[in-house]
């Protein structure tokens, strides 16, 4: 929802590398390339997406990992695979969490299967798979309600990041997902401030001319060093 070049210019960002958690098929790869960002680690839990992701990002020299991210290593979870009746969702809404209000706001999307997976923390994944000198300082998350769990598992390396771009929920799109106030408070305690937020559709629940969906994107900036 936010144009990366505009964010880079507005916040004078010097991105050394990106960790993209919730890669899907790498739709943002062209944006990273256009901004001169060469070091990108893509992570996605859905093995069916990996051929599409690899085809898109391998020519750019990026690295991919198929893994289910969680707050702790070694926890067995049910990962739900999504699609829509016409196939257009193509796994975009796949998640560890069951559908919540998502079923009403996007009734065309449903879960079509599930698989047992074992979680890995973002800290462990990045430390094991980041192949370049130096550290990434930009974290992009699109984890269908599991963003706070990802952050909890990233805490040992959270100090590496200066900027966090993440999907957020103001309604419980996925059952049990963290809502924006909880996520913002958690990040504020660790030195990040919410700078921008943009919701899909209506920006407020009581809007008259647009539909309220209750989800969108947010951009956080480090305001003080990690403890």
> pLDDT (tens digit, 9 = 90+) per residue, 186-217?
999 999 999 999 999 999 999 999 999 999 99
The tokens of 121 are what?
């923390």
The CATH number assigned to the domain with range 4-222 reads 3.40.50.150
For the four alpha carbons of 184, 181, 211 and 96, in that order, the dihedral sign comes to: positive
Check whether 34 has a pLDDT greater than 80.
Answer: yes
Distances (CA, A) of 190 to 183, 223, 225: 11, 9, 8
Q: In 93-226, which residue ranges form alpha helices assigned H by DSSP?
A: 102-105, 122-129, 147-154, 180-188
Please report which helix (H) or strand (E) contains residue 54, including its range: helix 50-57
Q: What share of the chain is helix, strand, coil (3-state, %, to 5)?
A: 30, 30, 40
Residue located via tokens 């964010």: 7
At residue 71, the pLDDT reads 98
At residue 226 the predicted structure's pLDDT band, cuts being 50, 70 and 90, is confident
Torsion angle of C-alpha atoms 142, 107, 99, 112, degrees rounded to 10: -90
The tokens of 68 are what?
């289910």
> Running DSSP on this structure, what letter comes out for residue 157?
G
pLDDT, one tens digit per residue, over 119-151 is: 999 999 999 999 999 999 999 999 999 999 999
Distances (CA, A) of 162 to 5, 113, 217: 16, 37, 17
In angstroms, the first-to-last Cα distance of the chain is: 31
> Running DSSP on this structure, what letter comes out for residue 71?
S
At residue 225 the predicted structure's pLDDT band, cuts being 50, 70 and 90, is confident
The residues that bridge with 138 in the sheet, in sequence order, are 18, 163
Please report the DSSP string for 128-147 in residue order. Answer: HH--SSS---EEEE--TT-H
Antiparallel, parallel or unpaired: β 138-141 and 18-21:
parallel
pLDDT, one tens digit per residue, over 49-106 is: 999 999 999 999 999 999 999 999 999 999 999 998 888 899 999 999 999 999 999 9
The tokens of 116 are what?
């047992």
At residue 1, the pLDDT reads 87
Check whether 227 has a pLDDT greater than 80.
Answer: no
With a CB cutoff of 8 Å and minimum separation 6, the contacts of 97 are 80, 144, 145, 146, 174, 175, 176, 177
């Amino acid at each position: 929802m936010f144009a990366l070049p505009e964010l880079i210019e507005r916040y004078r960002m010097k991105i050394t590398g990106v960790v993209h958690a919730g890669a899907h098929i790498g739709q943002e790869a062209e944006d990273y390339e256009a901004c001169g960002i060469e070091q990108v680690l893509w992570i996605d839990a859905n093995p069916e997406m990996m051929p599409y992701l690899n085809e898109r990002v391998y020519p750019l020299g990026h690295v991919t990992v198929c893994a289910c991210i969680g707050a702790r290593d070694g926890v067995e979870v049910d990962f739900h695979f999504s699609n829509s009746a016409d196939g257009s969702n193509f796994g975009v809404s796949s998640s560890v969490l069951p559908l919540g209000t998502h079923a009403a706001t996007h009734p065309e999307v449903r879960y079509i299967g599930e698989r047992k997976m074992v979680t890995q923390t973002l800290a462990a994944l990045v430390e094991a798979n980041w192949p370049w000198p130096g550290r990434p300082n930009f974290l992009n998350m699109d984890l269908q309600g599991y963003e706070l769990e990802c952050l909890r598992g990233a805490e040992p390396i959270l100090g590496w990041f200066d900027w966090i771009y993440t999907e957020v929920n103001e309604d419980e799109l996925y059952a049990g997902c963290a809502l924006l106030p909880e996520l913002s408070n958690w990040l504020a305690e660790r030195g990040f401030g919410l700078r921008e937020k943009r919701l899909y559709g209506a920006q407020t629940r009581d809007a008259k001319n647009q539909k309220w969906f209750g989800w969108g994107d947010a951009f956080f900036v480090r305001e003080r060093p990690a403890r």
